[in-house]
Chain A
């Protein structure tokens, strides 16, 4: 009987907790930067223009990456005793913490894999950890290549923490695979699913932000006062920049998901005798695929479709979540393993 190295498995569990702590502190840092960071100046300028009756705010920012600052001071920040510089430094620290957190996150998975001598995504708990790692990793790459502003890490870490927090409710002891999963196809099919899900997760964030930002622009443009969560739009990048980021991420994730589904079908033929049997997991993978395909088509259907596109992305992520939690926990099917 294959053994489980308990020491390694325990260390992996501790690393998991450390990862969440690091992400949580990082989120705090991002929040500080988001609220009081350098964008404040630009926003303050835009608002004064609105007050002066100049019409809508000017969102002609070309780059998403913050550059330079002009010594404006945010009143709220002053009241809290936080200078803009401090807030920006909090963002820098947060990014470092995210990197360290991601390193711990990775070690957690590696140790868990080592302790059981197999790929570390053999149950739902491990799957979620792996998806979050891909999500955070993708996000770090996005920030490092200048595709998104650092402070938006606030929302990405928030989503990652929520998902990891849910994973704790599904904790499963490190153990060898059940027979149905014991195949090299797990390395192919589940890896593709993990990669695609992680990138879809990160793609969902700017799509949701895009919706908020567009709504914010509308509300501000009509001279009304926005309310939470639309107020978040104040410090978000321009709609076009968010839209581009959403598209880029999905251009990556969609073929991966397609490959994952196909690999799953090939594996299903080996394990269950048929490549497609409308098992609940298969149904929802299909639904997610169709929804994301609709997103890609909507972007090519003129302005109306483009407006709809971020909503379809949000819907797509909802189907992914249903596929992960709804199908594993509520409906029973062939994809139910080890209780979940």
Chain B
């Protein structure tokens, strides 16, 4: 299957032909663009007229080139793999819910004030260590294991985080494993001591800030309703200094209230951050902050705007990386990864503060998806077996999608929330993912050619 798209750089159109199955990308001129659309049945009525006016010699030459590419398996290539099932044996990553409590109240929080609609529990060191034991003993031959300290706000239970980290490192050394640790924090308790420890021990630190102060304060505030922005920015910038070149992200969320989220990315970059993620909020359609179908065209235009800002800043002193524009076009993950996505329920699991195991952090508290617990292990293998079937190849809505090997089939929790099935479709998410992929591909071309 072939996908065609246009990206406007500095006001000028760039035409692309994308071969979905082989991962081949071509920058073409306007005539070749129309030829590709004609060849693969994608022409609109207006384009049909333009195509019929094209120079016949050019059309013939272009089609000969397309014939050649098809012959090489680099255009309109057939699917490479038709049957595939995720392994359910090995677990490689766990999200530990260090506490179901938070010192911020974010109006869009999928965890309901950090509680996930459960009591405000704190994970004990004992439960955390059992989670580490579970992960190591279920990791099979996989050497590189991952633990993400998540909440709620994990720094509210910092001492336990430290104990779990030390224990994991000890056990890894004995068992020939290696842990990568990540913490996601709202930065409110990120003082110098915590910052130094995180810098030393965490492979990745995700700092939650929504961008402009006005945007942040409209949706995020302390438990008592106070302005938390100055403290969050001060602490996160101090940590940024400590962090140097080691891995971190500032991660914001945009809602229907700030569809001009490019301004928030700029605000974060201007503060001094150079690794930035800005995620669309996921909320039920009736919520006034929800991103709905009505917002899709507006957000697509904003991604175009953000891309132009991104390209310009990367040439100068404000170089930054945007998580959703990162694309490893020539290498990237293997086909297995592209077909299985995040691995929720199989290689990736989440653990509640009291030790229950769920397919991922967004499933915690949903009893019908309980897999087991860290003390007794896997009690409901059928949940994992079900998740093992959720691959790109099994989802009907992925079949013709140009982004299917770049999103891995989408988020199971979002799919459940919007379609009633973990293997269903979250249509808004799919539309935005497709747009981000097109923009990312165009960025690759533009930067490679110094345009």
Instruction: Judge: A and B partners, yes or no.
Output: no
